[in-house]
Structure 1
């Protein structure tokens, strides 16, 4: 009887733990397209998984040989926000998603914030991460202007930036968003689409996630990445601040601890390479993944 009671208590504890885990707020939604080798695509800050629509059509079409798992993070583009550290929760839930769906070591393509998350996956969960394609993202965004910045300095910069963003009224915030996005894509229709996602994003989620990016420095942790990595960068949107050679040098410096990394800069694309130079991007991704 005592053993039976202990068994019932144990089963109840396990069931309650499982229910608690199942009830954890979802850090992302997933849309799956195609069949074949798994490929995870992660959009950037305040972006929808729709940003990968053309990429999915190219890589996960009828004869393409991939199954695309396209994420949209919580709080972005109309997806319900969650409390706490979004990126930390998204990383752990993505690792769990890969295991639960028996995806092995899927290739991961991440744009901007999504690229940062892909790098974190490769650092913290190497057995669940295959090849990486990092689209216009850096391991230490906050250190671009000050490469020698200490963790304390990066955190201070992040707090200051977040405070400034929270202090903006709605009109000022909207105007700043329009100015920023206008530099990130060339076609007006693409700019409006991106702005629309931003308008449907939870403001506090966006501010906090941007704060995490600014405060983080993965440069020295690049040595832990075992995944073959392709980095696709851009420069024309930033040419008012630095020439192409300087921007390329920044990419090389930030990724110098990652053995074998391939870094290629687009000639005409802005930040949203998948919109500005899609064929250029697709060709390099296909060659890399094959």
Structure 2
């Protein structure tokens, strides 16, 4: 348990572990405003996640982070549902949802099923908003099938968590540690006090801490452990060179001050990891912890709105 305890705050804060309504965003094309209801879904085709669809307009996929269900995006959906048809993803095994039948190739299966969902639902280059693990998934989807997705909004996520402390790290170097972590985490479950302590390093508001803690305690340990293992053993740094879409990366650093990090040093980690991503911009929150949509809501919407507005104008 010592290994997991020492890694959990750092890993959770960097990927794995209040509504402010800004000016409306105009639809990029009139046709989207009267878009028909989505094609009838077949949940059996994507056993690794469920989907809730809200709103009308251009398609937007919202993918949550580790242990969180799609409800983590409720305020974001309220903000965008008049301009976007929001497809809110809840991954199996997170936040009280039923665990997947198998965790073999867990995140790869999620990636493939999400790409198939986009195709069967006939979603035209959907915007993808992803937090933490969800941001990693958005990058993986886009680098796998660049033509299938639209702009990306990545919320406090990196292409390779295994290289945060050592930029020269490779998957082979990280794998033994990741395997040990997977074995320990799948066999042990954090107590409510431990879970809350971890979450308090990721979220500021007390009510939000309580909610995220509940989601973590309700998550399936084996699924969480496998998801972390998959992220630690998948290096997307060279793969993001294939991404064709504009990407907004929103980073957090305030939570890492206790570990000696500064805004500049944390930005350098982001810039280094995203160096091969052709069309991206990194913006750093001044005060937000890992859940930027909770901690720095106004800034989060200002950044995302401006970015999406730029993309809408560019398409005209």
- TM-score interval, normalised by the smaller of the two chains: 0.7 to 0.9
State the distance in 1 between where 2:193 and 2:140 align.
Answer: 32
- Could you say if the C-alpha distance between residues 275 and 80 of structure 1 is closer, same or farther in structure 2, counting changes exceeding 3 Å? same
Could you tell me which residue of structure 2 aligns to residue 76 of structure 1?
A: 94
CA contact under 8 A between 1:155 and 1:215: conserved in structure 2?
yes
From 37, 41, 51, the counterpart of 2:62: 41
Deviation at 1:278, TM superposition (A): 1.0
After TM superposition, the score normalised by the length of structure 2 is 0.80
SS of the residue 1:134 aligns to: strand
State the distance in 1 between where 2:94 and 2:134 align.
Answer: 12
Map 1:199-218 → 2, pairs under 5 A = 199-218=217-236
State the distance in 1 between where 2:125 and 2:77 align.
Answer: 19
CA contact under 8 A between 2:45 and 2:113: conserved in structure 1?
no
From 175, 199, 202, the counterpart of 1:181: 199
State the distance in 2 between where 1:25 and 1:107 align.
Answer: 20
CA contact under 8 A between 1:28 and 1:90: conserved in structure 2?
yes
SS of the residue 2:267 aligns to: helix
Give the gaps of 5 or more residues in structure 1. Answer: 1-20
SS of the residue 1:138 aligns to: coil
Could you tell me which residue of structure 1 aligns to residue 127 of structure 2?
A: 107
Post-superposition Cα deviations, 1:67-117, rounded to whole Å, max 9, x if no partner, equal 110000011112111112221111111111111111021010000000000
Could you tell me which residue of structure 1 aligns to residue 78 of structure 2?
A: 57
CA contact under 8 A between 2:178 and 2:233: conserved in structure 1?
yes
CA contact under 8 A between 1:109 and 1:133: conserved in structure 2?
yes
SS of the residue 2:258 aligns to: coil
Map 1:26-175 → 2, pairs under 5 A = 26-61=47-82, 65-82=83-100, 83=102, 84-168=104-188, 170=189, 172-175=190-193
Tell me how large the CA RMSD over aligned residues is: 1.6
Give the gaps of 5 or more residues in structure 2. Answer: 1-41, 310-316
CA contact under 8 A between 1:157 and 1:215: conserved in structure 2?
no
State the distance in 2 between where 1:186 and 1:49 align.
Answer: 20
- Report which stretch shifted further, 279-288 or 159-168: 159-168
CA contact under 8 A between 2:94 and 2:219: conserved in structure 1?
yes
Deviation at 1:54, TM superposition (A): 0.7
CA contact under 8 A between 2:130 and 2:154: conserved in structure 1?
yes
CA contact under 8 A between 2:244 and 2:279: conserved in structure 1?
no
Map 1:176-255 → 2, pairs under 5 A = 176-241=194-259, 242-255=261-274
Q: Which runs of 4+ in 1 moved over 6 A?
A: none
CA contact under 8 A between 2:131 and 2:154: conserved in structure 1?
yes
CA contact under 8 A between 1:81 and 1:202: conserved in structure 2?
yes
After TM superposition, the score normalised by the length of structure 1 is 0.87
Deviation at 1:162, TM superposition (A): 1.6
Post-superposition Cα deviations, 1:4-53, rounded to whole Å, max 9, x if no partner, equal xxxxxxxxxxxxxxxxx985561111111110000000000000111111
CA contact under 8 A between 1:228 and 1:260: conserved in structure 2?
yes
CA contact under 8 A between 2:185 and 2:221: conserved in structure 1?
no
Deviation at 1:222, TM superposition (A): 1.5
